[in-house]
Structure 1
Amino acid sequence: MITHVVLFKLLPGFTADSAPVQAFHAAMLELPGKIPLIKSWSCGFNTVPDAQAAHYVLVAGFESQADLFAYFEHPEHVAAVCCLDGAAELLFGDIAA
Structure 2
Amino acid sequence: MITHVVLFRFLPGVAPDGPAARAFHDAMMGLPGQIPLIRSWQCGFNTVVDTQAADYVLVAGFESEADLYAYFEHPAHVRVLDELKDVADLQFGDIPR
TM-score band w.r.t. shorter chain: over 0.9
2-side partners of 1:96 and 1:15: how far apart? 33
Cα deviation per residue 1:28-67 (whole Å; 9 max; x = unaligned)? Answer: 1011111000000000000011111000000000000000
Residue in structure 1 matched with residue 33 of structure 2 by the alignment: 33
Q: Which residue identity does 1:9 align to in structure 2?
A: R
Q: Which structure 2 residues correspond to residues 1-97 of structure 1 after superposition, within 5 A?
A: 1-97=1-97
Q: Which residue identity does 1:36 align to in structure 2?
A: P
1-side partners of 2:25 and 2:93: how far apart? 20
Moved over 6 A (4+): none
Aligned-pair identity in percent equals 65
> What root-mean-square deviation, in Å, do the aligned CA atoms of Structure 1 and Structure 2 show?
1.0
Q: Note the residue ranges of structure 2 that are not aligned, 5 or more in a row.
A: none
CA shift for structure 1 position 79: 1.1
Normalising by structure 2, report the TM-score.
0.94
2-side partners of 1:40 and 1:21: how far apart? 22
Retained in 2: the 8 A contact 1:21–1:84?
no
Count of aligned pairs: 97
Cα deviation per residue 1:45-94 (whole Å; 9 max; x = unaligned)? Answer: 00011111000000000000000000001011111122221321111000
2-side partners of 1:5 and 1:49: how far apart? 19
